[in-house]
Structure 1
């Protein structure tokens, strides 16, 4: 049955209030129908997710309980953090095979690998405000307790392999104490002492009943873990795609170093970018790799390195001793009035230790007129030279482009003009005043 409001309006003696009442009733009816439809879809979705999690639960000794909290966290991730899941799927290609092998070695549930997403978002460089570090977020003292050393050169809490081994040992110890995986997860977050005190105080040893007595972060920890577990398994069903994979676990190998090497030397002889070396070796705090440590590289780069191992070590030694320069120049700097080592080091982006080493200085004392050898990164030297140019104002004329202006300035590039004037695009408005270097 269709109601034509226009025809009703043409009727004689039609009560205007009747029309308002009719419109109001129809609107309410449509709203009720729409709300019922949303409720039905949500209910159907709820039961579908519950069914899937029950299937996951059959495959693990970890209690993957489904409830409203878990459902809410799944929806939060789907609404706000789909990109996070896409990224985790890509990173998992590198980290999860190693984690699964380690968990299996210790006889632990493989699903514990998902805890590293909750802890750090699979970022070995992650650092919390409280000082917890790495994939598994070890505090300094806890890391020491589980054989993760921290030195001036290395932080093993950021080593994916060693920290995962330590996390497995910690999981086993927690399970021996609590005998329940949900309580183990809560203890991993809140600390075993905190959970033990709560169990004693409340006389409750079931996580889901104990949950209301826990602080907010620990209360939400297990539901988050279950939600991540679900989404990493059923991402396709929610139209989530995997980000591009940088490297998989099966494409890497390691080398035990026979001598200390620096990053530039390693990049040069292995033909590996800084980005890849740092990604695969996140535990190294400086651009130095000490003797006897292991470095991880793509398999083909490791193979090439070992084929010319002796020659490669000689080359890296020459680079380390500055007999061969990679992307840097040797300059002679004349000490000016008011100079001191810290000031010179800051200007040329080097450290005081190297300044003393290059110039065989036993103390930090320098005198005006002294000449110092400094090895400076080419890009930084170019930046210093560019900044030292005298600059003058130029008014953009009709037809000017960054390229045409740069052509008039011998040795100056478009990007340098952009950087000097903080220009992001390429368009110049006639009449605009910009700075140009005067050579």
Structure 2
């Protein structure tokens, strides 16, 4: 019966994907589906593949966890509009959840309808990570609609604590050899960092009825780094992209990103892995889905000439190359951890487990000011609170992690800590200048410094390598040299302390009425939720009756 149900689930997912692939939202006509080609260098997955190199020979120069953390995904400039559609669709999904929680089911469904219309506008030839986010959103919208119509909510159920079979074959042996040689430092350092919270993760998996071996998955995902950031925009120890984070209730706003919180992202990983096991029936296939997305595995299953046997190795040769390597890589990790000496790892050590107290604060404060008040190193507090995006506590209740036995000290000094004002982000109507304007356009002059790359400059100016390359008529792969003059887009950066120019945008003064939501106001004035939030510096979706806000006119 389980296999019959699973086949039905896979069939529904596949039919849904094909229907979406064949429908052109612009013309309303049927089209041929286009599928992104999955190579080793294309990274469409949920996860940062920390040791995958950028050429076909994977075994020579693997990417390390350090390189992943410092690498900003180089998003082509023609994908920026698609990413904006994704972001706006995500905002609508979040609005829908808030509306549902408030008992406004009709409005919640309308917001989901609007979100789905937005993702239908996304080009079918966008980058693979955009397509993965689109896929995640389709699944999330479907799930939310089902919850609304059935009145159900997400629940956990035990699926047994059966161990993952420790298969040994040539593919696993190859990964063990890689860890023993060219990736030895990566493995040793990742194992050391695992001591901080691997035991906590294992305990959570045990409580959820999942194999505790899965607690070692972050070793190959992120090297147990809280802030590991991949080219595919995956973030945190479990390497969630934003859309999948939303699927599993990881909060992300201007203050925090819970993908970097090891406790909350672990709970999300448990839910995701559970749903994948429900779909595929075995852990190796579920892990393949975690790596490349469930739809890629579903498509691989659909291409088989014989019936699917619930066995990853049946799919091995037809999965994307990086996924085919991912599962043996995890099994190799388990083999080594089970018997380090057998594989020559006699130098392994563990960091001490993280220990902290929590104190709920509602005041905006800089982490360094809090650290000074309790006589602690700022780096320690930052390390304990990796989810804080700006190293500032938010303007709502936040469970701040502090060193053990410092709670009373902080409580006594809390009022004396200065309140911090969030830096204003220059969005659609403000621009920041660096070193002078160029011809009055929204660009700035920049002189390349020693050791800088296009990627580092793009990260600094919150833009993409593609945008800088296009502006300077060079290739994204071009090398730059110290002293070179570049034009950079002067947008989406912090405006405080810099010259600003404002476009003469039109705004409507609006007094919030009972029952109003950001989404309903945005719909009424033909604008977006994001723009209303930006103009009014709103961190969430809550509005109060009688509150006065500025509503930007449609652009």
Q: TM-score range by the shorter chain?
A: 0.5 to 0.7
Assess, with a 3 A threshold, how the Cα gap between structure 1 residues 230 and 311 changes in structure 2: closer, same or farther: same
Equivalent position SS for 2:303: helix
User: In 2, Cα distance between the equivalents of 1:85 and 1:253?
Assistant: 30
Equivalent residue for 2:390?
A: 286
Equivalent residue for 1:248?
A: 353
Larger radius of gyration: 1
Higher relative contact order (CA 8 A, sep 6+): 2
User: In 1, Cα distance between the equivalents of 2:494 and 2:291?
Assistant: 42
For residues 266-296 of structure 1, what are the alpha-carbon distances to aligned partners after superposition, in whole Å with 9 as ceiling and x for unaligned?
1101222122222222111112111411222
Q: 2:299 aligns with which of 179, 187, 197?
A: 197
Cα contact 1:265–1:315 (8 A) shared by 2 = no
- Superposition pairs for residues 41-52 of structure 1, below 5 Å? none
Q: 2:377 aligns with which of 273, 289, 295?
A: 273
User: In 2, Cα distance between the equivalents of 1:252 and 1:236?
Assistant: 33
The CA RMSD over aligned residues, in Å, is: 2.9
Equivalent residue for 1:40?
A: none
Q: 2:168 aligns with which of 52, 56, 66?
A: 66
Equivalent residue for 2:368?
A: 264
TM-score by length of 1: 0.57
Cα contact 1:143–1:157 (8 A) shared by 2 = yes
User: In 1, Cα distance between the equivalents of 2:293 and 2:358?
Assistant: 34
Equivalent position SS for 2:226: coil
Equivalent position SS for 1:138: coil
> How many matched pairs?
272
User: In 1, Cα distance between the equivalents of 2:204 and 2:185?
Assistant: 28
Cα contact 1:85–1:232 (8 A) shared by 2 = no
Equivalent position SS for 1:73: helix
For residues 45-90 of structure 1, what are the alpha-carbon distances to aligned partners after superposition, in whole Å with 9 as ceiling and x for unaligned?
xxxxxxxxxxxxxx95312211111111111110122222221222
Equivalent residue for 2:91?
A: none
User: In 2, Cα distance between the equivalents of 1:96 and 1:130?
Assistant: 25
Q: 1:170 aligns with which of 251, 272, 297?
A: 272
Q: 1:212 aligns with which of 317, 325, 329?
A: 317
Equivalent residue for 1:112?
A: 214
User: In 2, Cα distance between the equivalents of 1:64 and 1:125?
Assistant: 30
Structure 1: stretches of 5+ with no match in the other structure: 1-58, 322-337, 344-350, 366-439
Equivalent residue for 1:384?
A: none
For residues 151-193 of structure 1, what are the alpha-carbon distances to aligned partners after superposition, in whole Å with 9 as ceiling and x for unaligned?
1121111111111100001111111111111110111112111
> Does 2:248 correspond to 1:146?
yes
TM-score by length of 2: 0.45
Equivalent position SS for 1:80: coil
Equivalent residue for 1:308?
A: 409
Equivalent position SS for 1:94: coil
User: In 2, Cα distance between the equivalents of 1:191 and 1:152?
Assistant: 27
Which 10-residue stretch deviates more, 271-280 or 174-183?
Answer: 271-280
User: In 1, Cα distance between the equivalents of 2:341 and 2:186?
Assistant: 14
- Determine which structure has the larger helix proportion and give its number: 1
How many angstroms does 1:257 deviate by? 1.5
Equivalent position SS for 2:358: strand
How many angstroms does 1:233 deviate by? 2.7
Cα contact 1:85–1:231 (8 A) shared by 2 = no
Assess, with a 3 A threshold, how the Cα gap between structure 1 residues 316 and 353 changes in structure 2: closer, same or farther: farther
- Superposition pairs for residues 31-42 of structure 1, below 5 Å? none
User: In 1, Cα distance between the equivalents of 2:288 and 2:401?
Assistant: 33
User: In 2, Cα distance between the equivalents of 1:209 and 1:253?
Assistant: 48
Assess, with a 3 A threshold, how the Cα gap between structure 1 residues 184 and 152 changes in structure 2: closer, same or farther: same
User: In 2, Cα distance between the equivalents of 1:78 and 1:66?
Assistant: 16
Which 10-residue stretch deviates more, 223-232 or 285-294?
Answer: 285-294
